[in-house]
Structure 1
Amino acid sequence: MARIKLLLKSKNNPASIYIRLSDGRNIDVMAKTNYSINPSDWSTIKEEPKDLKNIYNANLNSDLTTVKSELLKHYNKKTSDTVINTQWLKDFINPPQVAEKHPDKLVDYIDTFIEFKKADVKSSTITKCNGIKHLLERYQKHTKSVLYIRDIDAKFKMDFEKYCINEGYAPNTTARNIRFIKTFCRHAKSNGVETHYQLD
């Protein structure tokens, strides 16, 4: 049967509180929690803060009780191929952050850009962004292609300009739209999306 203990490994103040999980002979892992305490306020025997009438200690004890309970649940959900080691315990205490994956298609990324910027820009700017999105959708339909952010290069610029001229757009409008497209791509680049070396 799994057993969970709380302990201190230092007499310095503050001392980090460690959690230890053991189950039979094969499993015995320990890791540092995100909590600490003055060692003089810790009961080694009870594995909890001494003075629970103290509001700080009471809250700390409540948090530690929750951690123990959640750890036991997490352990009991393990599968046969789960490797129970120190890293597994550390990942339970501080779950790895999964990097948010952003769209790499230009048209799709415009929605992401708008979501990022909607609180900081005028509604007219959002309208322009959506207008360029619809223009790019028509361009994709015309060229029977899908625009990826990594494909926005000098050749795209020339092809897109020709398309806009044929569609009756003024040169100034087309130049402004291209500036917006570069802004979308630079924003995507700052979020880890691959861009073409000719972008700038």
Structure 2
Amino acid sequence: MAKIKFLLQSKSENSQIYIRVSISQFVSIKKKTGFTINAKDWSPTTDRPKQNNPQNKITHANLNKLETFIFDELNKDLANGSLIDTYWLETKINDCFSRVIKTDAGLLVNHVQNIIDNANTRKVKTNGGFKIGLSTSTIKNYTLFKNIILEYQKKIKKQIQFLEITKPFVDKFTNWLINTKNYSNNYAGKQLEILKTVCIDAEKNEIQVAPYSKIIQHFRESEKDRYIQTLSFDELELIKNVDLSDIKQLKEFKIQNPELTKNLSITPANLNNVRNWILLGCEIGQRGGDLLEITQENIRYNGKNYYIDIMQQKTNKNVTVGVIAPHVIDIIENYLPKKLPHQKLNEYAKVVCKLAGIVEVVKGTKLNTETNRKELGNYPKYELIASHCFRRSFATNYYKKIPTAVLIGITGHSKESLFLTYINQREDKDSNADLFMKFYEDLQKNKKPQLKVVKTAN
């Protein structure tokens, strides 16, 4: 008959309690139970903890529970001819207390790396179904997130398991992101959003996660805390008309603005090239990365109108923009700008805007190069202009002038609420009603008058 014995192998204050199962005179297996005890509280006579404090009483009860469970499982498996070894014993100990074995797959960082490694074959949900492969920007976000987690693990001096991502963990992680790393609310909230996404993905891959990890609440800056910069139609006129051909004036400008023009070649050709990118960007509403990829191959002419076809890198959406503004038609016919590095576009855009006189002091956020953090303050507007402002300018300038559904079809936003958040606007239901009435009146105007036959009386 099999025998079960509990024992200690050390005399320390934190001794591991082992279980030994002797199946016969020659076959004996032993594993840790997962419980520990002060060796002074162990009774060699009973092979159990002394019941001299509440914790020892709990451990005593758990060992009794384990003994009964192992006996029952052993009898069943011996009858079925199952292999009884240390792996069997470890599995049964975990089954008895519903424990989950922590493995490398259960590590947060490892699953993030798995997502990155398999980015080109991952399915991504789209409006039309699914597509294969993560976008470059999404892979970059996962990589940055992984680096943040690695840094946090160094801070807490342990690797993070999915089972440990509970509410207290998330609260501490959020505190670290905002108060120690000084990340903006937007950036910190984005990291929590990615954390939640990774946890949900892990569970889909049969990795056990903490229940709270699937309902992590992320956040964004409130509307009153967001400061977006756009170029109005009047400011775009200033940019369109500013003289960038005076070489002597440009040389003086470079001397007077050493920080603004540092590492830039301030020539008429370079500035005109950027001016055309600005004017084009503010009329077609695309992200900077998509804007800079436009070549003659993206442009179609049907004998009457020009169209620009774009595959958006971030969303993999195909959008088509109609071009009707005369100055933009002139650009795509005669002066289609040359591609340049995205960062250089942002730097040159500030120079062009200052030369155009866009110097009004406005409230906004600007990167502090010493702390590498954005700081809220009052700055000359040209200092805050970058390629993302072009897309926002398009959306803002044409909002309420063109149906929102049409604008969304061009910008690629998935729904109106996201579009309105992007331009810091609340839904204006009166405006929607006004647009409907305007289009209705236009329809009535275009109707041909119909002759009515009037019956005459006898």
Q: TM-score scaled by structure 1?
A: 0.50
Q: Indicate if the aligned counterparts of 2:123 and 2:130 stay in contact, CA closer than 8 A.
A: no
Distance 1:36 1:97, change over 3 A: closer
What is the one-letter code of the residue matched to 2:50? K
Q: Indicate if the aligned counterparts of 1:16 and 1:37 stay in contact, CA closer than 8 A.
A: yes
> Identity of paired residues, percent?
27
Q: Secondary structure at the match of 2:314?
A: helix
Q: Indicate if the aligned counterparts of 2:3 and 2:22 stay in contact, CA closer than 8 A.
A: yes
1:75 to partner: Cα distance: 1.8
Q: Indicate if the aligned counterparts of 1:27 and 1:84 stay in contact, CA closer than 8 A.
A: no
- State the partner residue of 2:62: 63
Matches within 5 A, 1:177-196: 177-178=315-316
- State the partner residue of 2:332: none
1:46 to partner: Cα distance: 1.0
Residue segments in structure 1 that go unaligned for 5+ positions in a row: 111-128, 137-146, 150-169, 180-200
Q: Indicate if the aligned counterparts of 1:16 and 1:36 stay in contact, CA closer than 8 A.
A: yes
CA distance in structure 2 between the partners assigned to 1:173 and 1:47 by the alignment: 71
1:12 to partner: Cα distance: 2.0
CA distance in structure 2 between the partners assigned to 1:35 and 1:57 by the alignment: 10
**One of 121, 128, 131 as aligned partner of 2:127:** 131
CA distance in structure 2 between the partners assigned to 1:82 and 1:135 by the alignment: 45
Q: Indicate if the aligned counterparts of 1:3 and 1:21 stay in contact, CA closer than 8 A.
A: yes
Q: Secondary structure at the match of 2:313?
A: helix
Say if 2:29 is the partner of 1:36: no
Say if 2:313 is the partner of 1:175: yes
CA distance in structure 2 between the partners assigned to 1:109 and 1:71 by the alignment: 44
Say if 2:75 is the partner of 1:76: yes
Q: Indicate if the aligned counterparts of 2:20 and 2:30 stay in contact, CA closer than 8 A.
A: yes
Distance 1:171 1:27, change over 3 A: farther
**TM-superposition CA deviations, 1:17-68 (whole Å, max 9, x none):** 110111223431111221111111111111111125x211111112212222
CA distance in structure 2 between the partners assigned to 1:135 and 1:42 by the alignment: 60
- State the partner residue of 1:86: 86
CA distance in structure 2 between the partners assigned to 1:31 and 1:10 by the alignment: 15
CA distance in structure 2 between the partners assigned to 1:41 and 1:175 by the alignment: 65
- State the partner residue of 1:4: 4
CA distance in structure 1 between the partners assigned to 2:130 and 2:8 by the alignment: 63
Q: Secondary structure at the match of 1:29?
A: strand
CA distance in structure 1 between the partners assigned to 2:7 and 2:86 by the alignment: 16
Residue-pair matches, total: 133
CA RMSD of aligned residues (A): 4.1
CA distance in structure 2 between the partners assigned to 1:60 and 1:32 by the alignment: 14
Q: Indicate if the aligned counterparts of 2:9 and 2:15 stay in contact, CA closer than 8 A.
A: yes
**TM-superposition CA deviations, 1:125-181 (whole Å, max 9, x none):** xxxx4415x164xxxxxxxxxx6x6xxxxxxxxxxxxxxxxxxxx7445433339xx
Residue segments in structure 2 that go unaligned for 5+ positions in a row: 95-99, 107-113, 134-307, 318-458
CA distance in structure 2 between the partners assigned to 1:61 and 1:51 by the alignment: 7
CA distance in structure 2 between the partners assigned to 1:73 and 1:109 by the alignment: 45
Matches within 5 A, 1:12-51: 12-51=12-51
Q: Secondary structure at the match of 1:93?
A: helix
1:76 to partner: Cα distance: 2.4
Q: TM-score scaled by structure 2?
A: 0.24
- State the partner residue of 2:367: none
Q: Indicate if the aligned counterparts of 1:42 and 1:49 stay in contact, CA closer than 8 A.
A: yes
Q: Secondary structure at the match of 1:177?
A: coil
CA distance in structure 2 between the partners assigned to 1:47 and 1:135 by the alignment: 60
Distance 1:57 1:78, change over 3 A: same
CA distance in structure 1 between the partners assigned to 2:314 and 2:11 by the alignment: 65
User: Computing the radius of gyration over CA atoms, which structure comes out larger, 1 or 2?
Assistant: 2
- State the partner residue of 2:204: none
Q: Indicate if the aligned counterparts of 2:42 and 2:50 stay in contact, CA closer than 8 A.
A: yes
CA distance in structure 1 between the partners assigned to 2:11 and 2:19 by the alignment: 16
CA distance in structure 2 between the partners assigned to 1:30 and 1:86 by the alignment: 7
CA distance in structure 1 between the partners assigned to 2:6 and 2:43 by the alignment: 10
1:92 to partner: Cα distance: 3.0
Q: Indicate if the aligned counterparts of 1:14 and 1:38 stay in contact, CA closer than 8 A.
A: yes
